[in-house]
Structure 1
């Protein structure tokens, strides 16, 4: 009876993780490509700040999208931990904690976006510190989101690595999917280490992004697999 209950809980965890990964992907696309992303011009701080001032509701929707990503990451951490615990409970727990640490960094990064809203929405800041200082401080918070999130993704790459490792060791996660997770983890760590240590080489970072784009999307494939097949697998000890 206990074994049956355990399998039921693992299958529920598969659904939770699967839906969390898919909703997280949709919310991340909304944040980066539909709301905040189009407002930011990397080579033009003044235009970026004016875009945000003129489209504050869109910017707020972007922040909300990132909050959805954060919540989904927490749910995914729990679901994947439960689902992969039969393989190796300690490593599965380590993978979950790595994702939680990444999520905490993402949360602090999102606060930078909220600081932007506070600055833009307050006439007091503008009148007391002057426009030049106001603009530089606002731009600093906008850029701090990306740089802080990038550091968090280095931690996230380790989470993906252990997911791939656990998948390879399991007898129920497809091997090809696990291999792509492992390759994707190296893509994440290379791109974001370069972004931290050598941010001037943006062309190289973009090339690495294109090289690893499919493996780095393997977590989305994992979410789909969990919902279609993963929730129905037979667990063998």
Structure 2
């Protein structure tokens, strides 16, 4: 009969695998939904062209919405997985990290609902509807951006827990903290200091590498090494 310690270790290892896989799936979904579809169909400040693009590519736009729904689901999995995996190292901070990720997923779900509204609006054709569709897209981007401030705080918490362990490499832990700080800083600037948007955009280009490498690197480590971790 398995001891409680062994059972907890097995659960922790499974949480690492689920989280790692969810992060990898999320990365692929985000690259497609935002990096490919959203970026190619949505033209900033041009409601008419954006509306025409989406109308001409409705199946592709629906796939974008599906991609975001997959991201919301995988975020919820990561919220649970990070809490379970990090709980043995610092239960209170692990709960905070999981809670912040859950809150971010809820905010993202609200944001995605505006893309669903956009999808319904493109069934009609008029200048007024085109502007309404653009307003829904802008609402999606604004709500998501605000959520990314919380997402950054989540990553900072995760990284600080990881730094305090002997199991997780310090380089990965530090990259997660840097990624979290970058997300929170950039999207705080986008939301509350819009006057320097051009500077914020340039700063985002500079910080893009650590933002991507931080969480993705942790996800790969969780899948490859985290499933073999043994509790002290």
SS state at 1:71 partner: helix
Alignment check: 8 A CA contact 2:122 2:130 kept = no
- Write out the 4+ residue segments of structure 1 that deviate beyond 4 Å after TM superposition: none
Pairs within 5 Å for 1:49-128: 49-121=51-123, 123=124
**Distance in 2, Cα, partners of 1:147 & 1:26:** 22
Deviations 1:173-192 (CA, angstroms, capped at 9, x unpaired): 11111111111111111110
Alignment check: 8 A CA contact 1:16 1:79 kept = yes
SS state at 1:201 partner: helix
Alignment partner of 1:149 is 2:144: yes
Shift of 1:25: 0.5
Shift of 1:199: 2.4
**Distance in 2, Cα, partners of 1:50 & 1:111:** 21
Alignment partner of 1:172 is 2:174: no
Shift of 1:90: 1.1
1:18 corresponds in structure 2 to: 20
Paired residues, number: 229
**Distance in 2, Cα, partners of 1:171 & 1:4:** 19
**Distance in 1, Cα, partners of 2:168 & 2:122:** 48
Q: Output the TM-score relative to the length of structure 1.
A: 0.93
**Distance in 2, Cα, partners of 1:118 & 1:213:** 33
Shift of 1:215: 2.1
SS state at 2:230 partner: coil
**Bigger Cα displacement from structure 2, 29-38 vs 76-85:** 29-38
SS state at 2:194 partner: coil
**Distance in 1, Cα, partners of 2:65 & 2:43:** 18
**Bigger Cα displacement from structure 2, 34-43 vs 57-66:** 34-43
**Distance in 2, Cα, partners of 1:228 & 1:221:** 11
Alignment check: 8 A CA contact 2:32 2:64 kept = yes
**Distance in 1, Cα, partners of 2:131 & 2:205:** 32
Alignment check: 8 A CA contact 1:172 1:235 kept = no
Alignment check: 8 A CA contact 1:35 1:58 kept = yes
Alignment check: 8 A CA contact 1:187 1:208 kept = no
Shift of 1:230: 1.5
1:31 corresponds in structure 2 to: 33
Alignment partner of 1:201 is 2:196: yes
The runs of 5 or more residues in structure 1 that have no matched partner are none
Shift of 1:202: 2.7
**Distance in 1, Cα, partners of 2:207 & 2:165:** 24
1:190 corresponds in structure 2 to: 185
Alignment partner of 1:221 is 2:223: no
**Distance in 2, Cα, partners of 1:161 & 1:107:** 22
Shift of 1:135: 2.1
**Distance in 2, Cα, partners of 1:164 & 1:152:** 19
